[in-house]
Amino acid sequence: MRVLLTGAAGYVGAVARAVLEDEGHDVVGLDTGLYDGCDLGVAPPPTDLRLDVRDVEERHLDGFGAVVHLAALSNDPVGDLDPALTYAINHEATVRLAEVARARGVERFVFASSCSMYGTSGAAAAIDESAPLAPITAYAESKVRSEHSLSALADDGFSPVFLRFATAYGVSPRLRLDVVLNNLVGWAVTTGAVRLQSDGSAWRPLIHVEDMARAVSAALSVPRERIHGQAFNAGADEANYLIRDLALLVGEVVPGAVVELAEGAGTDPRSYRVDFSRIADELAFRPEWDARSGAEQLARAYRSVEMDEAMFSSDRFVRLARVKTLLAAGRIDEELRWTALSERITA
Ligand SMILES: NC(=O)c1ccc[n+]([C@@H]2O[C@H](COP(=O)([O-])OP(=O)(O)OC[C@H]3O[C@@H](n4cnc5c(N)ncnc54)[C@H](O)[C@@H]3O)[C@@H](O)[C@H]2O)c1
């Protein structure tokens, strides 16, 4: 299938592109390139369409069977930088992209949603897709609004599907260190201590980036009526972890690392245990990775690039820090669009 993959140059996108191409899809990557150059090892292939998703026009959607929409301000801290901008990029541009895709006859629209829309369910029974949505950040709210608006666009010729991903981990050429397991392994490898930013009592479901790509692939390959207008939690029941158990696991995987609470650590209100039976039953999705194999993979990758504390604490792998660097250097404006200065630097 010919697939337009937005966010192709990001953490998930760089892996998803490779996985989808391996499965025979013809992938065209679209991305504005906020994290270009932020590579772990070998850079991902260049983006085919270096375009802001807010500027997509109908002509960009010609000839695709599906859109896989990953492009977004991708976490709570970046979303909190400017909530209105988060809604403009994550919600309004999503709706417009879907409208032009529908107008051009694209049949499937796979939307990267998030389990963070469940908010603070805590340790109560795991929650499924019918649970009330209780977003507590602009980022999570942007996902709720997007699902709502995309549902309204579903019709005989256009099938949106919402993959409510667990929190990602694992190696990608566009690594992020601001997701929990990648971060904990980074502390362990570069300092010998696993430093928790909270008291570790929150529940968090996890999924490996390669398994995220395989979930996307499942949504592209099943008959359209199975996914039409549906939400699927994307992860595995056994991959709901207490953050402190993840820290202990990392302490085992990285020999000699001690587990420490970061100074002033409090309780993280974003705590949720999620039921993933639907994606298992209806899309036959089973993750191939777990937190232990992922932590081992991460530790190997960090050592192979000789990651030290300076690299670990730089802006290269932390989305909010990178955006702030680009803003301070005048390379992007306050709407996160590239400036003329940036065009001169990259010319
Ligand atoms: N990583 C996770 O834990 C996780 C969990 C649940 C859902 N998701 C969702 O998956 C998607 C991908 O996340 P990620 O971790 O790869 O994030 P990322 O920040 O690494 O990648 C996002 C990509 O989108 C691009 N982008 C941002 N604004 C854009 C714009 N206006 N126009 C075009 N491109 C733009 C960026 O340049 C970047 O390459 C996001 O929608 C995110 O919300 C991620």
In short, whether 179's Cβ falls inside 6 Å of ligand 1 is yes
Query: How far apart, in whole angstroms, are the C-alpha atoms of residue 13 and residue 336?
Result: 19
Residue 347 has pLDDT above 60, yes or no: no
In short, whether 208's Cβ falls inside 6 Å of ligand 1 is no
- 8 or 122, which is more confident: 8
| Residue corresponding to tokens 């025979």 | 24
Nearest residue (by CA) to ligand 1, atom 17, is: 74
Give the pLDDT confidence score for residue 346 in this predicted structure: 62
Mean pLDDT estimate for the chain: 93
Nearest ligand 1 atom to the CA of 13 is: 16
In short, whether 235's Cβ falls inside 6 Å of ligand 1 is no
pLDDT range class, residue 260, cuts 50, 70, 90: confident
The residue-averaged pLDDT of 156-172 equals: 98
Number of structural domains the chain divides into: 1
The residue-averaged pLDDT of 325-337 equals: 95
Query: How far apart, in whole angstroms, are the C-alpha atoms of residue 180 and residue 203?
Result: 12
pLDDT (tens digit per residue) in 269-295 = 778 899 999 999 999 999 999 999 999
Look up the domain containing 8 and give its range. Answer: 2-346
pLDDT range class, residue 81, cuts 50, 70, 90: confident
Share of the chain above pLDDT 90, in %: 85
Cβ proximity of 65 and 1 under 8 Å? yes
Nearest in space to 95 (alpha carbons), one of 139, 54, 129, 65: 54
The residue-averaged pLDDT of 247-266 equals: 86
Q: Taking the model in full, what pTM does it have?
A: 0.96
Pseudo-torsion of CA 279, 121, 178, 335, nearest 10°? 90
**Residue of 31, 49, 74, 81 with the most ligand 1 atoms within 8 Å of its CB, for mutation:** 74
In short, whether 10's Cβ falls inside 6 Å of ligand 1 is yes
In short, whether 96's Cβ falls inside 6 Å of ligand 1 is no
pLDDT range class, residue 50, cuts 50, 70, 90: very high
| Residue corresponding to tokens 């909530």 | 83
In short, whether 12's Cβ falls inside 6 Å of ligand 1 is yes
| CATH number of the domain residue 266 falls in | 3.40.50.720
**Residue of 28, 34, 36 with the most ligand 1 atoms within 8 Å of its CB, for mutation:** 34
Strand partners, 240: 205
